[in-house]
């Protein structure tokens, strides 16, 4: 069985902190430093792309190594369900049934049956592009919907293909993602189909899958790693170009950011994963990712993602930071204090979720152990 790579939890920590910073960062910049920080934080939506690359890498690796498992489909799907469903459906039960029952006069809790159906069936990504399809406080579940759709289809593809054919499929999917995103933005500008729908985001998952396949070829990742500096420079240049029409901002609702910028973020995320996998345990990057705080945050990244957005909406309705006077003419300290407070509160609830909801079901995964047959260094 393939060993665990603890540093990947550190990458999950980076991904979730990026997303949370993006969602929490609402103060208008008041000075040059604040503006510079805002440019970075408002690009935090790209943390989702890092999650997609990591999912493609980890899930493809598990499936490729488990092809000989006599219970290939059962073990994979049951283990995924035990990890994902308990918290997800607890959150939806709280949102659509428990809270409306306890607070029947709150208009903010109103929803339609169609909105509930989108979320319950992991179609929130579709709901976000149809009129009145998604409720605000669970609209961030769109990325979980994309991952679940990937989990449903990908095991059959992996089992049906040899490793060599699977590499071609992965390259084809990456092209589908890039080209469909461009085509969607040209045909339906401003609809954000290119951001929310699975065919338009599959390139990030495919890049992660490609890394998993290259990892199982002798010297595969080393060859990629040797070109890392050139590839990352190209990505940085692409992001600069993508930001020009939006005056330096990398917000996803700008067409060039959504197309060229997303591709650059996806490739950057893939290269970061390769660099971490190829770096020795004594490298400074791996040591930091493997340290206790990043690993702790990464371990609870799923709960942090589920909880952070509805918690933010509640906090924003109660905490009026705009009433707090600026400090030396800057609102940056107020924004940072609010964000740190939100991070602490979200982490506390994530720990509660871990002990009460997630961990009991995770322990059950041992009953469905996946039989792996990976041979390190194999040509696959």
Instruction: Please answer whether residues 19 and 171 qualify as being in contact, where contact means their C-beta atoms are separated by less than 8 angstroms.
Output: no
Reported as type and span, the H/E element at residue 48 is helix 47-65
Instruction: Please answer whether residues 55 and 64 qualify as being in contact, where contact means their C-beta atoms are separated by less than 8 angstroms.
Output: no
Percent of the chain with pLDDT over 90: 78
pLDDT tens per residue across span 23-68: 998 878 888 898 899 999 999 999 999 999 999 999 999 999 999 9
Percent of the chain with pLDDT over 70: 97
Per-residue DSSP letters for 177-189? HHHHHHHHHHHST
**What per-residue confidence (pLDDT) applies to 4?**
65
Band (193; pLDDT cuts 50, 70, 90): very high
User: How far is it, in rounded angstroms, from Cα 294 to Cα 289?
Assistant: 6
User: How far is it, in rounded angstroms, from Cα 211 to Cα 56?
Assistant: 9
User: How far is it, in rounded angstroms, from Cα 207 to Cα 172?
Assistant: 11
- The CB-side HSE value for 48 (13 A sphere, CA atoms) comes to 25
Is residue 348 scored above 60 in pLDDT? yes
User: How far is it, in rounded angstroms, from Cα 104 to Cα 291?
Assistant: 45
Is residue 323 scored above 90 in pLDDT? no
**What per-residue confidence (pLDDT) applies to 378?**
35
Radius of gyration, CA atoms only, the chain: 21
User: How far is it, in rounded angstroms, from Cα 251 to Cα 262?
Assistant: 10
∠91-92-95 over CA atoms, to 5°? 90
> By C-alpha distance, which of 226, 63, 71 is closest to 158?
63
User: How far is it, in rounded angstroms, from Cα 45 to Cα 254?
Assistant: 13
User: How far is it, in rounded angstroms, from Cα 303 to Cα 285?
Assistant: 25
**What per-residue confidence (pLDDT) applies to 143?**
98
Q: Lowest mean pLDDT: which of 120-129, 267-276, 313-322?
A: 313-322
- The CB-side HSE value for 276 (13 A sphere, CA atoms) comes to 23
**What per-residue confidence (pLDDT) applies to 324?**
85
∠330-331-333 over CA atoms, to 5°? 100
pLDDT tens per residue across span 226-264: 999 999 999 999 999 999 998 888 999 899 999 999 999
Is residue 380 scored above 60 in pLDDT? no
**What per-residue confidence (pLDDT) applies to 74?**
95
Q: What is the pTM of this model?
A: 0.94
**What per-residue confidence (pLDDT) applies to 379?**
34
Counted residue by residue, the chain has a size of 380
């Amino acid at each position: 069985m393939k060993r665990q790579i603890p540093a990947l939890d550190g990458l999950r920590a980076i991904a979730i902190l990026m997303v949370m910073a993006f969602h929490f960062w609402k103060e208008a910049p008041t000075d040059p430093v604040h503006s510079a920080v805002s440019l970075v934080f408002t690009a935090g939506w790209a943390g989702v792309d890092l999650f997609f690359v990591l999912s493609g890498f980890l899930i493809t690796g598990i499936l490729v190594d488990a092809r000989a498992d006599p219970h290939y489909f059962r073990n994979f799907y049951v283990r995924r369900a035990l990890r994902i469903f308990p918290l997800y459906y607890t959150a939806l039960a709280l949102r659509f049934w428990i809270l409306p029952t306890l607070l029947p006069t709150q208009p903010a809790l109103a929803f339609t049956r169609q909105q509930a159906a989108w979320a319950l069936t992991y179609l929130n990504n579709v709901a976000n592009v149809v009129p009145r399809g998604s409720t605000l406080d669970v609209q961030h579940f769109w990325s979980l919907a994309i991952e679940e759709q990937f989990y449903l289809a990908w095991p059959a593809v992996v089992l049906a293909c040899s490793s060599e054919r699977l590499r071609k499929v992965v390259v084809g999917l990456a092209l589908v993602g890039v080209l469909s995103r461009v085509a969607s933005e040209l045909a339906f500008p401003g609809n954000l189909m290119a951001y929310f729908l699975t065919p338009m985001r599959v390139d990030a998952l495919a890049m992660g899958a490609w890394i998993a396949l290259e990892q199982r070829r002798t010297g595969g990742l080393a060859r990629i790693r040797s070109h890392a500096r050139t590839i990352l420079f190209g990505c940085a240049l692409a992001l600069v170009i993508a930001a020009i029409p939006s005056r330096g901002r990398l917000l996803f609702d700008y067409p060039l950011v959504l197309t060229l910028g997303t591709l650059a973020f996806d490739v950057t995320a893939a290269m970061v994963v390769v660099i971490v996998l190829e770096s020795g345990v004594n490298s400074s990057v791996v040591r930091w990712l493997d340290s206790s705080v990043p690993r702790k945050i990464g371990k609870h990244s799923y709960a942090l993602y589920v909880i952070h957005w509805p918690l933010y909406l509640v906090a924003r309705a109660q905490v009026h930071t705009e009433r707090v006077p600026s400090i030396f003419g800057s609102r940056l300290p107020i924004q940072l204090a609010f964000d740190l407070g939100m991070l602490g509160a979200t982490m506390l609830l994530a720990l509660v979720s871990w002990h009460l909801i997630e961990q009991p079901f995770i322990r059950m995964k041992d009953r469905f152990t996946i039989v792996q047959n990976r041979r390190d260094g194999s040509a696959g």
